Amino acid sequence: FLEERAKSSTTSAVKKLIGLQPQTALVVDDEGNSRLLNVNEIHREEKVLVRPGGRIPVDGIVARGESYVDESMLTGEPIPVAKRSGAAVYAGTMNQNGALTIEVTAESGETLLSKIVAAVREAQGSKAPVQRIADAISKYFAFAIVCLAVVTFLLWFFLGNAVAAAVVCAVSVLVIACPCALGLATPTAITVGIGRAAENHILIKDAAVLETMCKVTAVVLDKTGTVTEGRPTVVEDEISPDATTEDLSVLLAMEEQSGHPLAKAVSDFLHGRGVSPASELNGFSAVAGKGVSAMSGEALYWCGNRQIAIDNGAVGASVNEQGGTVVLFGRGPAVLARFMLEDKVKASSAEAVALLRRKEIDVYLLTGDNAVSASKVAKEVGVAHYEAGVLPADKERFILELQQRGHVVAMVGDGINDSQALARADVSVAMGEGTDIAMETASVTLATSDLRLLATGIRLSKSTMRVVHENLFWAFIYNTIGIPFAAGLFGVMLDPMWASAAMAASSVTVVLNSLRLKWMKFEQEKNTK
């Protein structure tokens, strides 16, 4: 009961989020007919009309209309986001000044909100390693107490005391012993800690991760989308006279199939030039850490970094790197185009690195980008250790080397190329705006993609585990002193009623100590130095 009360009080913020999702929605068809339906009855590809000032009832894509949407209940960002045709919107967010027709992409139980709540509930029900130890002790605790009560009765009886006195002491031993405090010591604190993390837009998959986070001594950062905005733009282009319109159409088709931020930047650039994607594209392949390739007709096309150009025997694959990222495009051994891209560093990244270093955590930057770009970003955010031109397997190997040197490693990434490293790390952290595979591999997701949340999460995990250890210490001390006292070892006859009151007080103390986490301030940390 006490554990459920603690859990209930810590999921209040999540429950408020669920309460923000409308229960009904206005479904419209192409003829303009509308009907009001329960959100549970709405299916994918149906269209929903949301009027100004209304909450969006489903996850979907804007089919018609323009507006600003307040997404603060999901991201914590107070500034409304502009939405127009093709933009993604989420259940529970507030439409502000324009009517939106939304095509449903996720049904009621599959919305982002629903997934967040399900993940938090699952995490709160999981067990930390320290809890398994406490559970193992509790398993034998009851039997040991019964044996102690029998021994207490026999000792009092054979020492010449009345049977009633012996019974009182034995009953007091049974009553005062508190396996409840031992059993509640870990789960209540873990429940509160994971709940507080969710309130701060940090989604933790299970209790074991929370316990490991407090031990992190090294953080490895991916660059694109983690330290930088992940929305690079083309700032320079050099297209060969040999490149035909058909070649550029193939390039656009390839980049549209790639989920990489650099590919999106190139595709946006080509769209701006009026290029249309090729209709025929075969054998599309993403080469991890290098780029993409595909066949069109008899020709093999490729696009990516210098390494994929060299792999295809490209002539003139050298690049002029001046702090930006260079994307090369070619057909067979011929380089047809070069694009220089720049990706802004997030405003919070330097502060996040400073916060981690203040906690005496080593910070490393790994990127598949060129050395000049990596050096520029590392210097801007204050990372002393960085490596450029790193492939996914190299990231995994780097983390393994850190672990062999005794580090507990947290890896932060957002892309498919980070999935190997995320799986290898002790704590894997995905950015909320990253790819699905990164978030599935990760044990922690930063919903707002703000690196400062990692420092907040580590601080919260340390506080949570400190409370767990305090609870276990209290349970141990209470039973160590209380049981001998109830047995009359100190020459005092303890009334069973007082023993039961002490037992209840012990359990309540553990729960209240855990609830301290709810009242602690874990808002996004600021670097005060």
Active-site amino acid positions: 222
> Which of 389, 241, 283 has its CA nearest to residue 326?
389
Other C-beta atoms within 10 Å of 115: how many?
15
444-446: strand order across its sheet: 202-204, 444-446, 427-431, 409-413, 218-222, 362-366, 385-387
Q: Is 251 within 8 Å of 270 (Cβ atoms)?
A: yes
| Single-letter code of the amino acid located at 355 | L
- Quote the tokens at residue 459: 């601080």
40: its two tokens? 């549970």
Q: How far apart are CA 227 and CA 188, in angstroms?
A: 35
What is the total residue count of the chain?
529
What angle (nearest 5°) sits at the alpha carbon of residue 279, between those of residues 278 and 283?
A: 90
Using CB atoms within 10 Å of the CB of residue 460, give its burial: 0 to 12 exposed, 13 to 18 middle, 19+ buried: buried
Q: Are strands 325-331 and 100-106 parallel, antiparallel or unpaired?
A: unpaired
Interstrand relation of 362-366 and 409-413 (parallel, antiparallel or unpaired)? unpaired
What is the token pair recorded at 330? 């070619």
Burial class (CB in 10 A: 0-12, 13-18, 19+), 200: buried
Any idea which residue has 């994929």 for tokens? 308
E runs forming strands in 260-347: 282-287, 291-296, 299-304, 325-331, 334-342
